[in-house]
Structure 1
Amino acid sequence: MKRSTAWTSLVLALMVAIAVSPAGNCCIPPAGAARGGCCSLPSVPQDPLPCSGPAQQVLLNGRRSTDNVSGIRRIYAGNVLDNRERAAIHAVITTKPGIDLAGIARELGMNRQTLRYHLNLMESLSKITALRDRGLVRYYENHGRYGTLERNLFMHLWNPTAEEILSLIRSTPGIAQSEIATHLAITPSTVRWYMRRFREDGIITERHEGRYARYALTDEAGRSMSRIGGEKPDGMAAMS
């Protein structure tokens, strides 16, 4: 009788212990189990890993970008330059009118694909204007500061040979093609090539005296060169 009572008490004690233990926990680790097994304290939840890829662009310098991420904010002309990368691009274009994509990328150390995205966005919102010339695209601020002729002049003045020819024509109105070639030590065919481009852009006039072609700046081009002479940025050929 006493033995039966003892067994009954033991069974009841085991049942109580099992009921108190949380579901899914064990009280005694199995043989050979590593320390800190199923009876270890619950782990502390970890912070999520930082987002990667395009989402990281939203967290620059501890603040969100103003780009339209998941429809949170729409980009328009009033806030397009709130983005620090676009503001830097716009500043370079303003100080170096006529600069091309490669030049901006060098100035800012920016990936060209990212740069194209920002340039296209700013152009679509009329913050900048692009002048496309024989496969090369040059950029200008779009606030009416420069007319078409002046943008064409800036485009040519980025080319050292074109700048030398224009400066020579400016200082010597009526100079002949052969004289330009001799003075600059370039071939007559090179001079003809540039003259054709200048005529197409309304920068020079051409008159013939016998077998000689003589060149001069148009009145508007002369005024424009005088006006932008002091605005030419570093990196552009120096104007006489």
Structure 2
Amino acid sequence: MGDFAFDLAHLLSGLMVVVSMVLLYQDRLTAMLNVFAAHAMLLGAAVGWQAEVQGAGHLWITAGIAFVFKGIVIPTALHAMVRRLGIHREIETVVGVGPTLIAALALTALAVLVVMPATEYANPLAREDLAFALAVVLLGLLMMITRRNAVSQIVGFMSLENGLILAAAGAKGMPLVVEVSVAFSVLIAFIVFGVFVFRIRERFDTVDIGTLERYRGEQQDGA
């Protein structure tokens, strides 16, 4: 089972990196939310496999939280938010998709170059997973930087957090209390982001954060 365990763990982690890049490629909100749901479900599968390989039963809780809440509940809530607010379905970007994907490839290579030498004597099962997890984190940050829509920035934040969970699960798991606290933190962050989006939409009739920045500039000029 050794080689198969490594191959499947690395396949699931690698697929998360690929789906992170697909997230960066999306230019419509509904498609982006569907891709994020797939991203979270892949996380659930990756953590579940780590639970099986490591014999760490508590990781099944993390896998279930990722699959149910982040893969189904949160995307469904975001879809409802988009419909209720009548948000413009196209995603505005700071830079084009092409340069963004080139930057994504560079960040993925950087993650591998940084992690692999630093984990030379680490558990072979965790070593590649940590590199993939760092790539997912960096791609989540890139998404938050290159997207102007508040909803897409929420998705970027949660995909970044998916990378952190993947890293923790690959590095021999994490205590149950940490998993529960992470779940509550994600829930609270989602609620805060939701209120934030509603307030932006109510005040500026858009969720483009560029409008908020322009308004802040006008206020400072007026002062």
Task: Report which of the two structures shows the higher radius of gyration computed on alpha carbons.
Answer: 1
TM-score under structure 1 length normalisation? 0.24
Higher relative contact order (CA 8 A, sep 6+): 2
Structure richer in strand, relative to its length: 1
Structure richer in helix, relative to its length: 2
